[in-house]
Homo-oligomer: A and B are copies of this chain.
């Protein structure tokens, strides 16, 4: 069964399927897969547990549906942004800063302005990608997401055609680590900075992140 993303009309009361997906999204993001029970989800969705199994079958399938509800839009938007930027540059390599922004801004933007569902989804994605624990039953969706990474790496290769491939892969890995860390909005940054930086101020973090990583990319991927 396929359930569309929450209705555009905020006044429309969501169907039970949507309420269940929303509740799952929130609780999986907060507590992880094993830490969120179907009872908790049912209570949060104000529905009996049997309605969850009726709509989604097993808990694993529910989790998959939570991801599946949004991942395609997320991936399409990101790929689209990268493609547009490359088209606009008329064959010349797109600027590194622009490319990085295309790569991370769609998800960050949805997390900030897409409503609580997208916020929870972003946290959940960060958790799931960071954690090999979810690899097994997320395999198909991880594959989908890896296409975005391939597009980003390919665009980087055009900017740094002489870069060592291993260094390039590691550079992207380091960048990805930070993106995931930003998306989950754990309290790490707030705590460490004594409140000077807020982990929920994603825009500020991304705006600093781009020149930061651009500097490292240039230094390490431009052969002397």
Q: Mark A197-224, 1 if CB is under 8 A from B, else 0.
A: 1000000010011011101101110000
- Residues of chain B lying within 8 A (CB to CB) of residue A30: 133
Say whether, besides A178-B177, A187-B135, A166 and B216 are in contact (CB < 8 Å): no
Chain B residues positioned under 8 Å from A187 (CB to CB): 132, 135
Within residues 133 to 175 of chain A, which ones have a CB less than 8 A from any CB in chain B? Answer: 133, 135, 142, 146, 149, 153, 165-167, 169-174
Contact partner of A129 (CB less than 8 A), chosen from B33, B129, B188, B205, is B188
- Inter-chain contact B173/A192, CB cutoff 8 Å: yes
Main SS at interface, chain A? helix
Cβ of A109 within 8 Å of any chain B Cβ, yes or no, is no
Q: Does A130 contact B (CB under 8 A)?
A: yes
- Taking CB atoms, residues of chain B closer than 8 Å to A31 are 34, 133
Among A133, A174, A184, A187, the most chain B Cβ lie within 10 Å of the Cβ of A174
A90 proximal to B (CB < 8 A): no
- Nearest-neighbour CB distance to chain B for A162, whole angstroms, equals 17
| Minimum distance in angstroms from A188 CB to a CB of chain B | 7
Picked from B171, B180, B218, the residue with its CB within 8 Å of the CB of A181 is B180
**A93 CB-CB contact with B under 8 Å:** no
Please tell me which one of the listed residues B34, B180, B192, B220 contacts residue A32 in the complex, with CB atoms under 8 A apart.
B34
Is A189 engaged at the interface, CB distance under 8 Å to the other chain? yes
**A84: interface (CB < 8 Å):** no
Number of copies: 2
A169 pairs with B197, CB closer than 8 A: yes
Could you tell me the distance between the alpha carbons of A172 and B197 in the complex, rounded to whole angstroms? 12
CB <8 Å contact, A170 and B197: yes
Which B residue's beta carbon lies closest to that of A168? B193
In whole angstroms, what is the CA distance A211 to B130 when docked?
Answer: 23
Asked if A132 contacts B215 (CB within 8 A), the reply is no
With both beta carbons as reference points, the residue of chain B lying nearest to A221 in the complex is identified as: B212
Q: Does A35 contact B (CB under 8 A)?
A: yes
Q: Which residues of A contact B (CB under 8 A)?
A: 30-35, 127, 129-133, 135, 142, 146, 149, 153, 165-167, 169-174, 176-178, 180-182, 184-189, 191-193, 196-197, 205, 208-209, 211-213, 215-216, 218-220
